Structure 1
Amino acid sequence: MKNKFGIILPIILLSYFLILLDNSVVFTSTVKIASDLQMTPQSVAWITNIYALVFGSLLLLGGRLGDLYGRKRVFLVGLIIFTICSFLVGIAPSGIFIIIMRGFQGIGSAILAPTSLALLLDNYEGKQREKAISYYGVTAGLGASVGLIVGGIVTTFVSWRLGFLINVPLGILLILLTIFAVPSRPAQAHQKLDYLGSILSVLAILSLVNGINGSGHHIFFIALFIVLLIIFLMREVKIDNPIMPLTIFKDRERVSAYIARFCYIGAMFSFFFLVPQVLQKYYGFTPLLAAFCFMPETIPQFLFGFIQSKLANKYKNENILLFGTIVSFIGVFLLFILDLHYGYWISIALPMVVIGIGQGFSFGPLTISGVANTPKELGGATSSAVNVFHQLGSSIVLSIVVSLTASITNVITAYHYQTFLMTVFIIVPIVMAIKIKRIHS
């Protein structure tokens, strides 16, 4: 086994970090964007919604393209799209322009997210692969929290535009490094893309996300999703070149990891979305201060994420995953039981430290189990599945938490019920981690 990761892993991690960072920057920048571009609250919401719709609906296609046409080539296409659109978002002269460009940016992200993980699987083996995936997991967690801080800083002291324009030089650097440092591997030239399956998968996920986060006709879109999903699955079973080979769901560890990831990411995304609002509404913090108030979560997550990657060689992945999910549960449960009247340091910061430790021990193992026992020809498909469950978990669970508490006007009462729901969702990853442990015993 090689002792060094080389330049390929930094390329993969930085590209994935930019996607996650870019999404979180918007959370602390939307008010200023709306003011500068004279956008209504309804239209500014589409800056996030259009990205989520396009990103989520194209993930399966993005991963499969890498399987069929070569990871390096497809990865470069994703980088180029993401970089150009980041520049266009950063210089957006109007609301409609920024919404359209965010949609195209979602295309680049949908290609980069699964292809970056598939590149990792292609270039690393054994214990080195597990360690690399642990770093990938650390990146997955850090992108969201660091994005809040970066968004708060650039919006307050410079301009929200810098939050997007910073992607341009980094994107150009990644393109050059990929061209010269990432090896090209043979593509599956004997197979053709499942065009009908691709269209069905896009329409199905688009319907689901729109049914959850759209402005209306929720029942219609959910029903449409169910119909399209049935047609899609019937087709995928019959053809030789499916966009989503159903064989990836035959592995019990991977399926357990997908379910765990869906609920875990959903609970954590709810945490990132709702807590900044409580900090501002109840404690009266500014957006910038609210962003910095996530440091008690961000620092432990970073430190213990790297500790987890060191422990991966000594302790089994399933043991670390179980430990991480239990610690995460304790942290979220503390948010639920500690009254906001105790003040930020006890009610928020203390649980954040515990949550950060739990995240540090959970993200990497969740990803390792999500791509466990994956043959190389299915690297893109399993990587897509990891990202699809990640994206859908963040959208669906957050929507459930918000919709069930939308009628509660009191900030303290709403927060109490929201943290209770987050606590319930975080139980599922613990159950799945126990199942994975039993699979290995």
Structure 2
Amino acid sequence: MKTNKRITIGASLCGFVSGWEATTMFFLFPEIRDVLASGDATNAAWILTITGVVSSSLLLQGGRLGEKYGYQNLYKWGILFFAFTNLCCALSPNLWSLIAFRGLTAVSLAIISPLAAAILVAKATPGSENMALARVGVFVGASGVAGPIIITLLISSFSWRFGYFSQIPIALLAAFLSWENADVPGRNTRRKIDFIDSTLAVFAVGLLVFSLSKADEWGWLSISFLGTIILSLFLTYMFLQRSKISKDPQIPLLLFKRRKYRFTSFLAFTIASVFFSHWLVLLLYLTDIWNFGLIKASILLTVMPGMVVLTSIPTGRAADKYGHFPVILCGITVYTLGFLQFWIFAGEKESLLCLLITVTCAGFGMGTIWQLLSVSASQNVQPDRIGSALAFVNSVQRVGSSFGIALAATLTFSESGQPTVDLYQRGVGFIVVVSFISLILTFGLRDNKEKSVRSTHLDQNF
């Protein structure tokens, strides 16, 4: 197998690794809560919380380190470290050691997530970047289809430990394919890692994600929540002020002078908030209102990642030909209409037709939008800045996902403990409203050169 092909497949497999990781977390949680945490959901929830907080807070550093040491060089070690940390998770003797190892897993995710996309974009020939990342979408969708079924079987047949064991082979395969000394554009050995800037960025993002993950528990108007948010915003302000005077800022502020990058960042937040919250809202609706079993509900929801598999490649091809704006606009329109009809027609009585329309439209939207946002963020950015550009958008997506899940949980919470249709319809309504906002924001992606090329740059010092 040629070196370039090995590298692109190895980087694309990050999509499967990330998708499987996300699937594993939620399906393993109930047994870990019962076995390791003795039924204490609050303590057990840290295996979910720490991953989001640590990975999101370190994404910017992962992108910058990739620029300094080389995207490919750092990625192959990151994916190998991911395999090692999952082995440690599987062998954890108690809950708190598992939480600690989950934190280390999050470190590896902060490295591989932005760098895999950076490798694919940097190695792609001009005009084919969307197709390069579309392959990642196929792997993400495949993991979403296979993950729930395989993980459920592993847990029921063996134990929660095999959920972590299951992630090791694919990670090792990705590491094996990536273990090449290849010329991937984008390395800048003069890139500096400023300790103060890094610390400010880590705590600013980490505190923001942590506060959002605790919003439902603390309360949106509690002193703890508001205080943490204010501290996060203050650290962000300090970080931006230092970036203005830095000759080599962690986030090139010139990026935000580009309308397309600004709107891509806004969309990263809104799209992530609905893409992650719709899993929670639909799963609760199916199990609590329509009384579906967990396995039946999970199988029905796999239509969404199945559609991602089917739509990713055609979407990438269309975006390379026509540009991001019309393709993303089509995707978000279909997504919005799918949930709008569920909001209008779904009731207490189950309706498989209504559900299938929704999950099909949702899957189409996911496959059409998610990967294209990464290409949009890196468009016309010099190779040695792609890591930072993608890492920032990835961070925004993590914040958006935390916000969406937290708000959806709040909207669907019943003080009486009795779920109702009206209560869960509020969660669906949130998805519809934010999707419509995303549709409006999509018009900010229009420009005179929609086709994805990197032939021009706003600033040669970018």
Do both proteins adopt the same fold according to a TM-score greater than 0.5, normalized to the shorter chain?
yes
2:443 is the counterpart of 1:431: no
Deviates more, 1:260-269 or 1:407-416: 407-416
Partners of 1:145 and 1:254 in 2: how far apart? Answer: 31
Q: Deviations over 1:21-79 (max 9, x none)?
A: 21221212211122222441101111100101101110111111001121122112311
Specify the alignment match of 1:165 in structure 2.
Answer: 165
What secondary structure does 1:7 align onto?
Answer: helix
- Does the C-alpha gap of structure 1 residues 182 and 289 become closer, same or farther in structure 2, counting only changes over 3 Å? farther
Specify the alignment match of 2:81 in structure 1.
Answer: 81
Partners of 1:5 and 1:358 in 2: how far apart? Answer: 30
Specify the alignment match of 2:58 in structure 1.
Answer: 58
- Does the C-alpha gap of structure 1 residues 289 and 118 become closer, same or farther in structure 2, counting only changes over 3 Å? same
What secondary structure does 1:374 align onto?
Answer: coil
- Does the C-alpha gap of structure 1 residues 34 and 68 become closer, same or farther in structure 2, counting only changes over 3 Å? same
Partners of 2:30 and 2:44 in 1: how far apart? Answer: 8
Partners of 1:440 and 1:434 in 2: how far apart? Answer: 14
Partners of 1:141 and 1:437 in 2: how far apart? Answer: 28
- 2:341 aligns with one of 334, 337, 344: 334
Deviation at 1:265, TM superposition (A): 1.6
One-letter identity of the residue aligned with 1:429: S
Deviates more, 1:63-72 or 1:31-40: 31-40
Partners of 1:142 and 1:392 in 2: how far apart? Answer: 25
Specify the alignment match of 1:317 in structure 2.
Answer: 324
Contact 1:152 / 1:291 at 8 angstroms: preserved in 2?
no
Specify the alignment match of 1:410 in structure 2.
Answer: 419
Specify the alignment match of 2:453 in structure 1.
Answer: none
1:86-125 residue pairs with structure 2 within 5 A? Answer: 86-125=86-125
Partners of 2:31 and 2:187 in 1: how far apart? Answer: 45
Specify the alignment match of 2:299 in structure 1.
Answer: 292
Structure 2: segments with no counterpart, 5+ residues: 219-223, 451-462
Deviates more, 1:294-303 or 1:43-52: 294-303
Deviation at 1:300, TM superposition (A): 2.2
One-letter identity of the residue aligned with 2:294: P
Specify the alignment match of 1:355 in structure 2.
Answer: 362
- Does the C-alpha gap of structure 1 residues 398 and 150 become closer, same or farther in structure 2, counting only changes over 3 Å? same
Deviates more, 1:420-429 or 1:341-350: 341-350
- Does the C-alpha gap of structure 1 residues 172 and 182 become closer, same or farther in structure 2, counting only changes over 3 Å? farther
Root-mean-square deviation (CA, aligned residues, Å) is 2.3
Deviation at 1:155, TM superposition (A): 2.2
Q: Deviations over 1:218-256 (max 9, x none)?
A: 111011011101111001111112222222222211211
> Equivalent pairs: percent with the same residue?
22
How many aligned positions are there? 439
What secondary structure does 1:244 align onto?
Answer: coil
Contact 1:259 / 1:432 at 8 angstroms: preserved in 2?
yes
Q: Deviations over 1:185-244 (max 9, x none)?
A: 673222321211110000101111122113541111011011101111001111112222
Deviation at 1:360, TM superposition (A): 2.2
- Does the C-alpha gap of structure 1 residues 150 and 252 become closer, same or farther in structure 2, counting only changes over 3 Å? farther
Specify the alignment match of 2:202 in structure 1.
Answer: 202
Specify the alignment match of 1:133 in structure 2.
Answer: 133
What secondary structure does 2:129 align onto?
Answer: helix
Specify the alignment match of 1:399 in structure 2.
Answer: 406
Specify the alignment match of 1:23 in structure 2.
Answer: 22
One-letter identity of the residue aligned with 1:106: A
Specify the alignment match of 2:268 in structure 1.
Answer: 261
2:244 is the counterpart of 1:237: yes
Q: Deviations over 1:132-180 (max 9, x none)?
A: 1222344455555654444333323443322211222222222222123
2:418 is the counterpart of 1:419: no
One-letter identity of the residue aligned with 2:78: G
- Does the C-alpha gap of structure 1 residues 304 and 184 become closer, same or farther in structure 2, counting only changes over 3 Å? closer
- Does the C-alpha gap of structure 1 residues 439 and 314 become closer, same or farther in structure 2, counting only changes over 3 Å? closer
Deviation at 1:318, TM superposition (A): 1.5
1:3-22 residue pairs with structure 2 within 5 A? Answer: 6-22=5-21
